[in-house]
Amino acid sequence: MALPDLDTSVGHSFGLEVDGVAIKQINEVSGLKLEQDVIELKQNTADGKYIIKKLPGRPKAGEVTLTRGLTGDNSFEKWVKDAHFGKMGNARKGGAIIVYDYEGTAIKRYKLTNAWPKSLEIGSLKAGDTSVLTEKLVVTYEMMEIE
């Protein structure tokens, strides 16, 4: 069901699927971006005026950062190991970031093609600190489609 007129989605209702499997406990998704090159066409008109036209170019690949609290789940580490050791057949995966409405119905899917982990960063370890320890996974993808 679509959102009613003048309503918008809230930023806390989202999910992540990788190869059809839901990844749980994601706190934050950042860097989700659809971009393409711009081609400048410089030319003169019939009356001799110089103009610049901007044309759409090739789509650009992108990166998205996934953050979650550090848990016993080692799915991120397994995925990183596959990419690190060159097992790209296993590392390249399809995935989607899904935005939900207030009733839990999916309203947007940002589908990622040939996504694989570029880096995994563990949050700071500090004596006496009481904050949640996090892990950030940077995933690069070849193409993003909005469904």
Give residue-wise pLDDT tens across range 57-91.
999 999 999 999 888 888 888 888 888 888 888 89
Strand, helix or coil for residue 60:
coil
Q: Cα 142–146–147 angle (5° rounding)? A: 130
Are the beta carbons of 101 and 13 closer than 8 angstroms?
yes
Residue 56: pLDDT band by 50, 70, 90 thresholds?
very high
Q: Report the chain's mean pLDDT, rounded to a whole number.
A: 88
Give the pLDDT confidence score for residue 28 in this predicted structure.
92
Strand, helix or coil for residue 91:
helix
Task: For residues 133 and 126, give the distance between their C-alpha atoms in angstroms, rounded to a whole number.
Answer: 10
Tokens of 126: 């500090």
Name the strand (E) or helix (H) holding 78: helix 75-84
Are the beta carbons of 141 and 63 closer than 8 angstroms?
yes
Q: Any idea how long the chain is?
A: 147
Question: pTM of the entire structure?
Answer: 0.80
Name the strand (E) or helix (H) holding 68: strand 62-69
